[in-house]
């Protein structure tokens, strides 16, 4: 199985359960790994034959940047749904970090796996 990935995509959004969190924008970081058959793209050297990670990144920046969720779990699930449906990805893992959310930790967040892992 081939995989296309996006690493450390930083996006500002409204996410959190506390009143003060609802009034500010906080950084979240996405790491996404997606199943994709890249053989055709390797043969043709054409972006039309592969999973366009720039298009996925732009979609995530647009969606996450405009979203407002209480839980990182909900935000991660919505991101995964968009990628699976809009980009015809059969399987993905998505890690969503919320840096600085817990004093003394570098980051907290969730990691989810959705779809059917090929092979």
Number of domains in the chain: 1
CA distance 89 to 60: 14
pLDDT tens-digit map of 25-42: 999 999 999 999 999 999
Query: What pTM was computed for the model?
Result: 0.94
Q: Choosing from 27, 54, 58, 98, which is the catalytic residue?
A: 98
Q: Can 106 be counted among the known catalytic residues?
A: no
Query: Of the candidates 75, 115, 113, which has an alpha carbon nearest to the alpha carbon of residue 96?
Result: 75
pLDDT of amino acid 1? 84
The residue segments making up the domain with residue 42 are 3-115
* Segment 13-24 mean pLDDT: 96
CATH number of the domain that residue 84 is part of: 3.30.1130.10
Distance separating the N- and C-terminal Cα atoms of the chain: 7
Q: Residue 99 burial (CB < 10 Å; 0-12/13-18/19+)?
A: middle
SS3 47: helix
* Higher per-residue pLDDT: 102 or 112: 112
SS3 43: helix
């Amino acid at each position: 199985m081939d995989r296309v990935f996006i690493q450390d995509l930083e996006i500002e959004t409204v996410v959190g359960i506390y009143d003060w969190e609802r009034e500010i924008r906080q950084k979240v970081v996405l790491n996404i790994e997606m199943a994709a058959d890249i053989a055709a793209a390797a043969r043709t050297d054409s972006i039309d034959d592969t999973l366009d990670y720039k298009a996925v990144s732009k979609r995530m920046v647009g969606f996450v940047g405009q979203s407002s969720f209480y839980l990182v779990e909900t935000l991660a699930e919505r991101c995964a749904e968009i990628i699976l449906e809009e980009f015809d990805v059969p399987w993905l893992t998505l890690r969503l970090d919320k840096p600085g959310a817990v004093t003394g930790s570098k980051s907290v967040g969730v990691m989810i796996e959705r779809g059917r892992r090929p092979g």
